[in-house]
Amino acid sequence: MSSDPEQRVYRRRVFYVPGYDPIHPRRYRELYRKESARQAEISGYEIALRPAPGDGPFGWHIDATIDGATVKTQFNVLVWSDLVRDSMAGSILATYGHLLRTAWTYITTGALWRLMQLRKGPVIAALYPVAFLLLQLLLAGATGWAVGHAVQKISTWFDLGSWAFDLAALGLGAVAAWGVLRWFRARDGRFYAYYLMHDYAYSAQANGAYPPPLEARIAEFTDLLAEAVQGDVDEILLVAHSSGVHLGVSLLTDLLCAGRLPEGGPALGFLSLGQVVPMQSFLPDAHRLRADLHDLSQRQEITWVDVTAPGDGCAFALCDPVAVSGVAPAAKRWPLVLSAAFSKTLSPDRWNALRWRFFRLHFQYLCAFDHPRDYDYFRITAGPLTLAERYCGRQASPSRIDKAVSKYTDLARP
């Protein structure tokens, strides 16, 4: 990570790629506002948000004074929540169809077995919606049977036996069963079973290939970055979280392979957080993603830092996404794999309060830490150092997994 140690950032553009999230991007603005204020109070710096103009991607401006330096940052969210909502719009029965197809894909391709050789947490997270949706179906069936049986029992008590009562029992049982399924669906904001099932189904729907609407959105994102790198800023920083890391890898590769980064332009950084890349790259038709991982890992024009934490049961913690996908080239430079070490960077009280809230912990990378070490999301996105300068000389986590695990390692482009 060679860089001029005297160089400081005064103007920065940050582009954030969310994971599989159907909610409006204003949630990320409010999260940033709340957590940056908390981190600033803990760490002793100043940071404030103000609205961004209406044109262009949703975003906000940040004014920060950190380590005695004043930095202005424009923060934009690369939105694909509309595609997520479209993919989640199916019926209850359609969701169970996704369950069968997704389970079949991961089992028959051998991807599930190989994923289990990495981290158990994200595999358990992937199996959870399958198990819970099947449990819901079982409860619905039991409820339907109980209601139907009760109706038949009543008809027997009153000696009203007839085919009409049999049909009534069947119909009322079906209505009761459907009511149970609808009850669970309406409360999925607490259970996340439907949400997670749609998430995994979206990655697996084409055996790991990007669906055409997502390819088109990646192209739009690449154009936005290509325009930004022509601007008068010191750093362009792409931040991607969870399933958004796939997209970040591909759009950066498209940008660089097309030669759209001007010589002498701003520093280019890529911060990937809580990645779940193997869930897609281990599938047989993820040729494009594997090729992008292979190419991006050896580019000299960028700095790529990958941050995960063993406490995050939804991420492939400390798994080098390039290496485990079996596509690491001889000239591999990236990513630098680091741990956010939640158990050490959060206070004991906060760690105990959050450690079983798996979904909340998956977003901790975007939040304040009680005892930040060398990972501070707000210093990275609003501070005076480029990503390269901040981690210059930093060694990768010694507990990272960097062996090839994926069965499928072929590379191809669409």
| Strand stretches in 67-191, DSSP E | 69-77
Q: Both tokens of residue 367?
A: 């939040």
Rounded Cα–Cα distance for residues 262 and 229 (Å): 7
pLDDT in the model for residue 168:
72
Q: Which amino acid is at 100?
A: L
pLDDT the model gives residue 148: 80
Letter string b/e over residues 32-60, b meaning 16 or more CB atoms within 10 A of that residue's CB: beebbbebbeebebebebeebeeeebbbb
Q: Cα–Cα distance between 35 and 38 in angstroms, integer? A: 5
User: 253 φ, ψ to 5°?
Assistant: -65, -40
Q: For residue 90, which phi and psi values (nearest 5 degrees)?
A: -70, 165
pLDDT of amino acid 4:
43
CB atoms closer than 10 angstroms to residue 356: 9
Q: How far apart are CA 208 and CA 201, in angstroms?
A: 10
User: Which tokens sit at 117?
Assistant: 């050789």
C-alpha closest to that of 370 among 348, 355, 354:
348
Q: Which residue has the tokens 């029965």?
A: 93
pLDDT at 370: 96
In this prediction, residue 56 carries a pLDDT of: 77
Instruction: Report the predicted TM-score, pTM, of the whole model to 2 decimal places.
Output: 0.92
What is the pLDDT, as a whole number, of residue 8?
84
- Please, which residues have CB within 8 angstroms of residue 138's CB and are 6 or more apart in sequence? none
Tokens coding 107: 């089992």
List % helix, strand, coil for the chain (3-state, nearest 5): 50, 15, 35
Are 266 and 73 spatial neighbours (Cβ–Cβ below 8 Å)?
A: no
Residues 367 and 377: their CA atoms lie apart, in Å, by 7
User: What does each of the 414 residues of the chain score in pLDDT, given as a tens digit?
Assistant: 334 444 589 999 999 999 999 998 999 999 999 999 999 999 999 999 998 876 778 999 999 999 889 999 999 999 999 999 999 988 999 999 999 999 999 999 999 999 999 988 888 888 999 999 999 999 999 998 888 878 777 666 555 556 566 677 778 888 999 999 999 999 998 888 999 999 999 989 899 999 999 999 999 999 999 999 999 999 999 999 999 999 999 999 999 999 999 988 999 999 999 999 999 999 999 999 999 999 999 999 999 999 999 999 999 999 999 999 999 999 999 999 999 999 999 999 999 999 889 889 999 999 999 999 889 999 999 999 999 999 999 999 999 999 999 999 998 765
